[in-house]
Copies of this chain bind each other. A is one copy, B any other.
Amino acid sequence: MFSKACEYASKIMIYLASKRDEDKLAGLKDIAKAINSPEAYTAKILQQLVRRELLLSVRGPNGGFGIHKNKEVSLMEVVMAIDGEGIVKKCILGLEVCSENRPCPVHDKFVAVRDHLRGILSTTLITEVGDGIEESIFFLK
């Protein structure tokens, strides 16, 4: 469904959202440990999220990563940042363009699923799903 990178990215965002009330930032090692991901690869994904301004980063001692506290971020934004818009645009059978005018044989049925997914992605905020992590109601690894 999503790329591994996108899975990591989502977990990163949710993890950092769950720590949004702590005054200190989380470092790469903390994050990779919290979501059970390879450290160096996780660093690359963190970079992308920072470039896309979905995260803030600070270098040096006590540096690390954190969410922008006054900015609501949906899962859709995270997915788009890493995997692009394919998941909510591409034809399920791989036709070059997905359209009503020239539909593949399963277009109608799959548009319904895609819209369902799109709805969830765009209405789900990372802060919302971040709650419940600290309390071990939900898990990231």
Q: Is the CB of A106 within 8 A of B141?
A: no
A7 at the interface (CB under 8 A from B): yes
Residue interface bits A86-125, CB-to-B below 8 A is 1, else 0 = 0100101111000000111111011011001100100010
Q: Taking A104-B138, A105-B133, A129-B105 as contacts, is the C-beta distance between A11 and B93 under 8 angstroms?
A: yes
Q: Is the CB of A124 within 8 A of B139?
A: no
Q: Is the CB of B92 within 8 A of A2?
A: yes
Number of copies: 2
A4 at the interface (CB under 8 A from B): yes
- A104 — which chain B residues lie within 8 A by C-beta? 138-140
- A130 — which chain B residues lie within 8 A by C-beta? 105
A132 at the interface (CB under 8 A from B): yes
Residues of A within 8 A of B (CB): 1-2, 4, 7-8, 10-11, 14, 75, 87, 90, 92-95, 102-107, 109-110, 112-113, 116-117, 120, 124, 129-130, 132-133, 138-141
